[in-house]
Structure 1
Amino acid sequence: MILKFLTRFSEMRRIYIGDNVSPVCKVYYYADWFLSYLIHGASISDYFAYGFYKLRYNGRREYITYRRYHVIQNKCNKVSDRCLCREKNKFNKLFEKFLGRDWIDVNNVDEMQFVSFCHKYPVVFIKEINGYRGIGTRKIETEKLNAKDLYNELVSDVNSHYIAEEQITQISELAEFHPWSINTIRIVTVYDTIDDEVHIMNARLRMGNKKNSVDNFHFSGIGANINIETGIIDTIGYDAHNNTYIVHPITGKQIIGARIPYWEECKTFVKGAARHISSIRYIGWDIVIQSGGRFLLIEGNDNADHDFQQLHNCGLWKQYQAIIKRF
């Protein structure tokens, strides 16, 4: 456990500070992190990613840390209903009218229904219902597929439960950033059920990178902040390794200053989704925009990462406090 902690600490220090650190400074960082953990609940990632080593007490109070994130989640989200977001079959069923795509619960259909579904589409995606960050997702080209064999393989896996979904498309303005992945909009909301008001807390564009098929931040993806009022990207792009980008490194498309199409309609769409479930009030929604201003809901995360919302912009703890203190 200690070795794992030291390795993680050194890794994060190298990413954000570099290797040229004296032994005295190393001791200082360890001690300072421990204090920030005790006082603010900061994880190792929080400490370095938010620049706590450069901030004093008041500056550190601005940020949602690991401990504060759990305060938000516990205040907003009923424990017994979190499965409605975390299990993809339950989520898809609950948010059917927001999905905008065809899907089936593989473990609850027969072989003929599965084969028929696969024959409808040239490409389908197989997903584990508890998969996250793209883990457990398979892209299947159905032209040469033996659908019966695949069905038997999936239903005989006693350790997993699967759904199948049709492939989706995205609007060209967002595909241009990284056409090898679907580039989604992550919007985090808090639903005040007392006043029936949905607060949009943060919005970010997620872009794939390195020709990966997913845009996930923890698989080399790139994020950038979207101004909630204007729909314009107002920060540089960044990744989980503290690299920053004015333009996308693969396509060269400029990130900062880009405008998200149909932004007002997108906000209306996500507020409708948030009102659809009252027991999970803090959710990070992943949205795809299609041509003509059509929106698809990929998933809703009751445990939306607090770091992704704040990196390269500002701390959001006070904004959350002002809302959840009433709950």
Structure 2
Amino acid sequence: MPQNGLGLAPRLHYLADRARRINVGSVLERAREASADHGKWMPAVVVDMLWQAGVRNVGFQDYIDYDFAILNRDERATYMTHPVSNQLSQKYDHPDFRHLFQDKVEFDHAFSDFLKREWMVVAEGNAEALREFTQRQGTIVTKEPVGQAGTGVHRYHAEEIEDWSRFHSDLLSRGELLVEEVIVQHPDLAAVCPGTVNTTRVTAFFDGERTHILAMAQKFGRGAVSDQMTFGGFYTMLDDDGHAVGAGYDSHGHVHRTHPDSGFVIGDFQLPMIDDVKAFVDRVARVVPQVQYVGWDIVVTPTGPVLVEGNWGAGVYENKPSVTGIRTGHKPRYREAIGF
């Protein structure tokens, strides 16, 4: 594929924006963390972090999460970072179609064939329909149409609801408008954490003809309604065969060689139906071809993969060298598929 480049203007815009919003205290806190974790002189870490951010397009949290303090220049160059990912999103995800991914109700309409579960929208006058739906399901998940990192996601049990009219009006007032059937995950996922539906993040690029899988990460929850880090969740990277490359970790310095609740050894995890997952991603990537670069959240069920959501701002999931022993990232795959 030809080298398309990301352009100088987006990068300069990003740098100017970061310069306006830089939090010196936050930078120093992260530098202290890297210094303590890796035995590096803190002033040198600060200078290096600022250089990497200004010249190499490395976010401050990327520097911490991917252990840049212990990597050499060539190793660092293999890591995808959030600033670069953001530039890819801006270039390859057409703004006229992003709303289909930002609004969860619109997303469910657009990708209804791939959800494989029932859903409804709370609206004025449908309290009885909500009661019938919830009682039939037993447990439901509600979502605010616009939210990130698991915010605005809630779980309710029909047996705990006494006043259905009040329940309906409360959902309306809080903006919890999307109601979905709870996904039943594959036993291999439930063996790690049965209380949370554990999603697989597949970052992919659709070039108009072919879907390229750039990276895969398996997220695990802690029994809450979401497996996001804000709910105590963590992740491990998967190889091309769907096998974990090592222990789990998050952006708060926590490393999980075993799941804290189940005791499952994270490095032993194998994503079931990996070939089905790859084929599934290829199908969903073609639904809105104008949004080419997406982080797809998928759950493998006993009968196959189902779609949770797609993120047009794909974010980044990468190896953590101090945990996995792997000192290279996925950026070469991005370059090969996208050409930049």
TM-score (norm 1): 0.88
Kindly state the Cα deviation for residue 50 of structure 1 after the two structures are TM-superposed: 2.1
User: What is residue 50 of structure 2 aligned with on the other side?
Assistant: 34
Q: For the residues of structure 1 that align with 2:257 and 2:172, how far apart are their CA atoms?
A: 46
C-alpha change, 1:52 and 1:156, in structure 2 (3 Å) is closer
Q: For the residues of structure 2 that align with 1:277 and 1:198, how far apart are their CA atoms?
A: 12
Task: Render the CA deviation track for 1:141-164: whole Å, top value 9, x for unaligned.
Answer: 11242222122223345xx36111
Within 5 Å, give how 1:30-179 maps onto structure 2. 30-107=46-123, 110-145=126-161, 146-157=163-174, 160=175, 162-179=177-194
Report if the CA contact (8 A) 1:40-1:60 is conserved. Answer: no
User: What is residue 309 of structure 1 aligned with on the other side?
Assistant: 318
User: What is residue 7 of structure 2 aligned with on the other side?
Assistant: none
Kindly state the Cα deviation for residue 123 of structure 1 after the two structures are TM-superposed: 1.1
Kindly state the Cα deviation for residue 20 of structure 1 after the two structures are TM-superposed: 9.7
User: What is residue 261 of structure 1 aligned with on the other side?
Assistant: 272
RMSD: 2.5
Task: Render the CA deviation track for 1:33-77: whole Å, top value 9, x for unaligned.
Answer: 111112112121122222222334333322222321122112220
What one-letter code is carried by the residue in structure 2 that aligns with 1:206? K
Task: Tell me the SS of whatever aligns to 1:153.
Answer: helix
What one-letter code is carried by the residue in structure 2 that aligns with 1:261? P
What one-letter code is carried by the residue in structure 2 that aligns with 1:164? V
Report if the CA contact (8 A) 1:191-1:275 is conserved. Answer: yes
Report if the CA contact (8 A) 1:233-1:259 is conserved. Answer: yes
Q: For the residues of structure 1 that align with 2:136 and 2:75, how far apart are their CA atoms?
A: 55
Q: Does residue 216 of the first structure (1) align with residue 228 of the second (2)? A: yes
Task: Tell me the SS of whatever aligns to 1:130.
Answer: coil
Q: Give the ranges of 4+ consecutive aligned residues of structure 1 lying more than 6 Å apart after TM superposition.
A: 1-4, 19-22
List gaps (5 residues or longer) in structure 1.
Answer: none
Kindly state the Cα deviation for residue 321 of structure 1 after the two structures are TM-superposed: 2.1
Q: For the residues of structure 2 that align with 1:156 and 1:219, how far apart are their CA atoms?
A: 23
Report if the CA contact (8 A) 1:125-1:139 is conserved. Answer: yes
Task: Tell me the SS of whatever aligns to 2:268.
Answer: coil
User: What is residue 319 of structure 1 aligned with on the other side?
Assistant: 333
Task: Tell me the SS of whatever aligns to 1:260.
Answer: coil
Q: For the residues of structure 2 that align with 1:231 and 1:85, how far apart are their CA atoms?
A: 25
What one-letter code is carried by the residue in structure 1 that aligns with 2:334? Y
User: What is residue 7 of structure 1 aligned with on the other side?
Assistant: 25
Q: For the residues of structure 2 that align with 1:122 and 1:250, how far apart are their CA atoms?
A: 25
Task: Tell me the SS of whatever aligns to 1:135.
Answer: coil
User: What is residue 300 of structure 1 aligned with on the other side?
Assistant: 310
User: What is residue 235 of structure 1 aligned with on the other side?
Assistant: 246
C-alpha change, 1:110 and 1:249, in structure 2 (3 Å) is closer
Task: Render the CA deviation track for 1:58-99: whole Å, top value 9, x for unaligned.
Answer: 333222223211221122201221111111000000000100
Kindly state the Cα deviation for residue 2 of structure 1 after the two structures are TM-superposed: 9.8
Report if the CA contact (8 A) 1:126-1:163 is conserved. Answer: yes
User: What is residue 13 of structure 2 aligned with on the other side?
Assistant: none
Give percent identity, aligned residues only: 25
Report if the CA contact (8 A) 1:188-1:282 is conserved. Answer: yes
Task: Tell me the SS of whatever aligns to 1:200.
Answer: strand
Report if the CA contact (8 A) 1:76-1:324 is conserved. Answer: no
Task: Tell me the SS of whatever aligns to 1:256.
Answer: helix
Paired residues, what number? Answer: 316
User: What is residue 296 of structure 2 aligned with on the other side?
Assistant: 285
Kindly state the Cα deviation for residue 199 of structure 1 after the two structures are TM-superposed: 0.5
What one-letter code is carried by the residue in structure 2 that aligns with 1:178? C
User: What is residue 205 of structure 1 aligned with on the other side?
Assistant: 218
Report if the CA contact (8 A) 2:38-2:70 is conserved. Answer: no
Kindly state the Cα deviation for residue 100 of structure 1 after the two structures are TM-superposed: 1.0
Kindly state the Cα deviation for residue 323 of structure 1 after the two structures are TM-superposed: 2.3
What one-letter code is carried by the residue in structure 1 that aligns with 2:201? R
Q: For the residues of structure 2 that align with 1:92 and 1:119, how far apart are their CA atoms?
A: 22
C-alpha change, 1:21 and 1:247, in structure 2 (3 Å) is closer
